[in-house]
Amino acid sequence: MNIVSSITKLDRRLRIGFNKILSKNSEEHKFIEIISNYLDDFSGYHDLTADLIVQIYNNFLLEYTKDVQDFIKTGNYPFENSKLTNLKRLDYDIALIMSVLTTQHRFRILKLFKDSCYYAKRNIAIIGLGSGLELEILRHYCQSKDIFPYDIEISGFVKENFKNINLYEREFSNEKFKFSTIYALELLEHLHDPFLFIKNCTNCLEENGSFYTTTASNIPQSDHLYNFDSASHFKRNLTLSGLSINFSEKISHETFSENFTPYNDWYHLIKN
């Protein structure tokens, strides 16, 4: 029995979420299995029980619910209310993996990522590794072995799990090498100046290169520093950065309030 089976037996809400993923994505059995196996490896490395994972993830959801309630009242993100996050890296990684298996919006983001991997042929940069799940997906679905993963801090598990890949534990900035594809997923909202970062990524792309990214709107997570609440402002800055939109998709979240409309946007951008 894998860890997901144990988790869904313990928690009814997580069981319902996981079953929805299975029923609405019946053609993605292999993909779901890859994510489930990754959680097995992650929990084994950290010696985590199903009970502990459920506890950590539910605590994360509880804190997020409080931040949402404050956001509905004030319109402010937690950092604007001087609320500092004390979330541990391990706890956040658990939340990142579990949310893919139990929420439709995060599964959709990772599915779009998986589907894009077929078209990433060479010289691929992925910025922001987090739990390492995106790198695992890239390893399974990308035909190219020319993968350049960047993060300012890389966990011991990611280093061990991907020891056959050169990992760049530093900021992605003014790289001399030109990439055909750059991924920066669920990263921009964590930056004070995401448009400076986008411009830097554009400079590191080949002509007609692909930049895949996402934005987060009205998602007051404790470590989010930027709310992409103006599509026109975002698109104007893309044009200024020398990028055009090849494809985009709005991904709405399930929500408990009519006054709360969180969503992500997936973008495939092309360097002009």
Per the rule left: phi > 0, alpha: psi between -120 and 50, beta: everything else, 41 is alpha
Q: How does the average pLDDT of the chain come out, rounded?
A: 95
Global confidence as pTM: 0.96
- Which comes out higher in pLDDT, residue 173 or 64? 64
The answer, yes or no, to whether residue 144 has pLDDT greater than 90, is: no
What is the structure's pLDDT at 177?
Answer: 86
Q: Where are the alpha helices (DSSP H) in 103-173?
A: 104-116, 133-141, 156-161
Q: What is the pLDDT of residue 221?
A: 95
User: What's residue 174's pLDDT?
Assistant: 79
| pLDDT tens figures, 40-54 | 999 999 999 999 999
Residue 270 phi, psi dihedral angles, 5° rounding: -120, 135
Lowest mean pLDDT among 70-74, 82-86, 91-95: 82-86
Does position 1 have pLDDT exceeding 70, yes or no? no
Task: Give residue 121's pLDDT band: very low, low, confident or very high (50, 70, 90).
Answer: confident
Whether 256 has a pLDDT exceeding 80, the answer reads no
Query: Looking at residues 76-85, what average pLDDT do you find?
Result: 87
Find all residues with CB under 8 Å of 237, minimum gap 6, and list them: 195, 198
Q: Please, which residues have CB within 8 angstroms of residue 166's CB and are 6 or more apart in sequence?
A: 148, 149
**According to the model, what pLDDT value does residue 84 have?**
72
Over range 195-205, report the average pLDDT. 97
46 close to 90: Cβ distance less than 8 angstroms:
yes
* 245 within 8 A of 238, measured Cβ to Cβ: yes
